[in-house]
């Protein structure tokens, strides 16, 4: 059987172009003992993948030019030589950016039976959802009554973060751009603030209007002007969970740090970066807490879906253009 997959032909500088990605084909070998073959049905593209295109190790190995890219995916088992998996099983794994995956059963996980669409395990109940829960609870230690600020609040991570913070008794402000994203946040009971066309000082003033008392928790997905504006609006003892810094992912050189970092000192605040995989042993607890709420409709989530394997690079690039509301997915 043949597998169609994407690779990169070079390591980009700045914003990647579409012609960086090449669709190639590979004949799969016979299944070995302990291996599983999966026809992928949904693929995930995520901002962290840009760092893997640098050719340098960050917190994860880089992609290798000419070799298949990978990322989270769900699909159906079509052949198995692992007794734990049968044909027809719905599973998740890390061999995305391709239509057919073949890998060790140790790297494959059966989807929980929670009565949710299978692609939810790539978004609200997958890595983005677990990231939201981890940053809010384990890193920022959010408490009832906290004022909470979330950047990229309409994205896959941010949109769950704001809802978990609301459910925990927080007053929540979310930063987003497009009008429809701001409207969605408002429908969730979140105070929306637009970053469009504003420098850090203007954004800081708008955040102050939205929450004059300042913020106990800042969930950081963006960096740049959002971080500077947030630092100007901290409360004493504030906690900042740094999930991502997408504002600088395509920078072609070193980016300046915030000019007001002294606010961390003045407000005795704590800023901590985290990688969700370091906390994955808590995933069952997250699933137990959040899964039923997604299944019964208590948690709202959106998906932006691109169709077909050929669309995978385009879906990825749209992440850096504000082209998604909620989780960006590719349906095969």
The predicted-structure confidence for 245-293, as pLDDT tens digits, reads as follows 998 888 777 888 899 999 999 999 999 999 999 999 999 999 999 999 9
For 64, other C-beta atoms within 10 Å of its C-beta total 12
Q: Which of 36-50, 54-68, 262-276 has the lowest mean pLDDT?
A: 54-68
Q: Which residue in this structure is represented by tokens 């970053």?
A: 195
Instruction: Report d(CA 240, CA 296) in Å as an integer.
Output: 31
pLDDT at 68 over 90: yes
- As a whole number, the mean pLDDT across the chain is 96
Out of 3.40.50.970, 3.90.180.10, 3.20.20.70, 1.10.10.10, the CATH code matching 2-123+302-331 is: 3.90.180.10
Structure tokens at 207: 């955040």
Residue whose C-alpha is closest to residue 324's, from 302, 307, 309: 302
State the pLDDT at residue 248. 84
pLDDT at 56 over 90: no
State the pLDDT at residue 254. 81
Query: pTM for this one?
Result: 0.93
pLDDT digits (tens, 9 = 90+) for 93-113: 999 999 999 999 999 999 999
Q: Where are the alpha helices (DSSP H) in 197-282?
A: 200-210, 224-231, 262-266
Residue whose C-alpha is closest to residue 207's, from 181, 172, 237: 172
H/E element holding 217? strand 215-220
CA dist list (Å): 25 to 3, 28, 170: 6, 9, 50
State the pLDDT at residue 249. 85
State the pLDDT at residue 23. 98
pLDDT at 157 over 90: yes
State the pLDDT at residue 253. 77
Q: Which residue in this structure is represented by tokens 């690039």?
A: 317
pLDDT confidence tier of residue 298, bands split at 50, 70 and 90: very high
Report the CATH architecture of 127-277: 3-Layer(aba) Sandwich (3.40)
Q: Residues spanned by CATH 3.90.180.10 within the chain?
A: 2-123+302-331
The one-character DSSP state at 251 is -
């Amino acid at each position: 059987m043949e597998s169609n997959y994407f690779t990169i032909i070079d390591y980009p500088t700045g914003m990647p172009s579409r012609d960086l990605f090449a669709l190639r084909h590979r004949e799969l070998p016979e299944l070995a003992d302990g291996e599983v073959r999966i026809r992928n049905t949904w693929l995930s593209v995520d901002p962290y993948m840009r760092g893997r295109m640098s050719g340098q190790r960050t917190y994860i190995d880089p992609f290798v030019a000419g070799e298949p890219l990978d990322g989270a995916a769900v699909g159906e088992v079509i052949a198995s030589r692992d007794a734990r998996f049968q044909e027809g099983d719905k599973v998740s794994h890390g061999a995305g950016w391709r239509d057919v995956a073949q890998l060790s059963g140790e790297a494959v996980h059966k989807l929980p039976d929670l009565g949710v669409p299978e692609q939810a395990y790539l978004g609200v109940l997958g890595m983005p959802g677990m990231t939201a829960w981890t940053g809010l609870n384990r890193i920022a230690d959010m408490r009832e009554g906290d004022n909470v600020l979330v950047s990229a609040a309409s994205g896959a991570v941010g949109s769950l973060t704001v809802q978990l913070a609301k459910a925990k008794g927080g007053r929540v402000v979310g930063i987003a751009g497009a009008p429809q994203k701001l409207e969605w946040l408002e429908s969730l009971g979140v105070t929306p603030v637009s970053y469009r066309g504003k420098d850090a000082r203007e954004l800081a003033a708008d955040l102050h209007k939205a929450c004059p008392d300042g913020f106990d928790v800042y969930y950081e997905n963006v960096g740049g002007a959002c971080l500077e504006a947030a630092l100007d609006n901290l409360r004493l003892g504030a906690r900042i969970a740094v999930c991502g810094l997408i504002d600088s992912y395509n920078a072609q050189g070193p980016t300046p740090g915030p000019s007001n970092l002294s606010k961390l000192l003045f407000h005795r605040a704590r800023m901590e970066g985290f990688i969700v995989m370091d906390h994955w042993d808590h995933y069952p607890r997250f699933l137990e807490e959040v899964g039923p709420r997604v299944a019964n409709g208590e948690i709202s989530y959106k998906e932006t879906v691109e169709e077909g394997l050929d669309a995978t690079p385009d879906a990825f690039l749209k992440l850096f253009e504000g082209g998604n509301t909620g989780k960006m997915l590719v349906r095969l």
